Structure 1
Amino acid sequence: MTERKSDTSGGGTAGGTSSREDRLKAALKANLARRKAQARARKGAADTSEKKPEQDKE
């Protein structure tokens, strides 16, 4: 009767699936960049707060 094309992404239209994947890929990339920036900021803040003058060892 009707032919069905197999779709590995789980459903939806062929055009809609690729745009959804593109949006998800962009969102993941932005999220990763934001998390890396936050980690760098935390590390930078920790480095500056931990720097104390060295005490003389006797």
Structure 2
Amino acid sequence: MAHREPDTKIATDPHENRARVVKSVKGTKGDEAREVRIKAALKANIARRKAQARARHAENDPGDDQ
């Protein structure tokens, strides 16, 4: 068996090891509708989390309702 060197590549380009940059998707078909759906979902999630926090607070401090 022949000894092989590991396949390591030394990056000569400084941009080669950077994380992939995702370009904006604005202008794609249906993008506005997608943004509206995402915004509505975020709003619903925030409302649900606030309701959960209120319920937890009410469970922990039942005598503070006065």
Same fold (TM over 0.5): yes
The higher-RCO structure (CA 8 Å, 6+ apart) is 1
Moved over 4 A (4+): none
**Consecutive unaligned residues in structure 1, runs of 5 or more:** 1-7, 52-58
How many residues align? The count is 40
Aligned-residue CA RMSD (Å): 1.8
- Structure number with greater Rg is 2
TM-score by length of 1: 0.61
**Consecutive unaligned residues in structure 2, runs of 5 or more:** 1-22
TM-score by length of 2: 0.54
